[in-house]
Amino acid sequence: MSLGQRLARLAAHLQDPRKVAAFQRLCGVEGPSGWAGAEQRGSVANGGPAGGQAHPAGNGALSGAAGTPRRWTRRPRRNSLTEEEDGSQEFATRSRFLYYLFSLGTELGNELFYILFFPFCIWNVDAWLGRRLIIIWVWVMYLGQCTKDVIRWPRPASPPVVKLEVFYNSEYSMPSTHAMSGTAIPLALLLLSYGRWQYPFMFGLILAFCWCSLVCCSRIYMGMHSVLDVIAGFLYAILILVVFHPIVDLIDNFNLTYKYAPLIIISLHLALGIFSFTLDTWSTSRGDTAQILGCGAGVACGSHVNYILGLQLDPPPHTLPLSLSSLTVTVFGKAILRLLIGVIVLLLTKVAMKKATIPLACKIFRIPHEDVRRARQCMEVELPYRYITYGMVGFSLMFVVPCLFHFIGLS
């Protein structure tokens, strides 16, 4: 057997949805009643329709469940654009701890985490570090989403897999962008901060390993990705880091110092969002990518304005390496207060821009806006709404909120 044939067999083995279902059963997840016989019918399929819209029939729930811990019934987690009639059903789990643990892991790749983590890093820890993390995050997520829509592999078939969430069920599966983000952010954090900040290298390595492992395992637990999707996402993120880590300083320096950087950044990110996608059916990937590109453009433009005005300057080289200040009640209180006030400003900015851009885009392109969810799925509305809204959120993150902190004495 040739090497190519062996690799193809290994890939087929790792893509098998039965591996996902077996991991879910190991963690105590059970499908609805009546799924026991459907696993064998579903196991012959190695995928489903585009976006994983397979209609469930079973996960192969464990028989003879008498005497097992009490089952806890839940509905799949969904977002505001998820159709209610998506074929998902209730599932049960015998371990609330694992459910919440892996829910935390999957949240480490969702918007809620990003809107807390990046602001906390920039406002309370190190803006230099935060800018570079966002640059890497933008390129990792952009390339991951584009690759998904080129390869177009479906989500793991259901049955035998139980879908514990349907946030991104309409997207394609390969590679896992959660795994990419969960690999790139902690590793980039370690690479960028070690030597700049004083802390034990082993501590950073263990943190990165636990972070990456939790996110990757959570995607299999949630039934959103095959083992192959997660491994490919992990390796893809490593490859992107190898390419972008050496030039991230050049990119950040360009964003800060080049006279026409804002114009180039806005044009480039907007062009990438417009010309990268030719979707055969609507999915959340296009809007999410425009959102990521808009946020990256806003952060870069805000950083440029800070540099031009002489605000929020980075520590001079002779002060490195930086050391963590002693954690006092005052320091902790100010950090939490900055995060609380700043995130509220970001959320208000998001809501205000959303309220303004969606009706405006509908009016310009003559799209009915009575059904907001359907209007948001039109490219003419989705791209400008996401790009402008999150561009302003990114700009506020870097410029508006720090100015507010300076004005109220929280700098």
Question: Do residues 90 and 178 touch, judged by C-beta distance below 8 A?
Answer: no
Write out the catalytic residue numbers: 178, 225
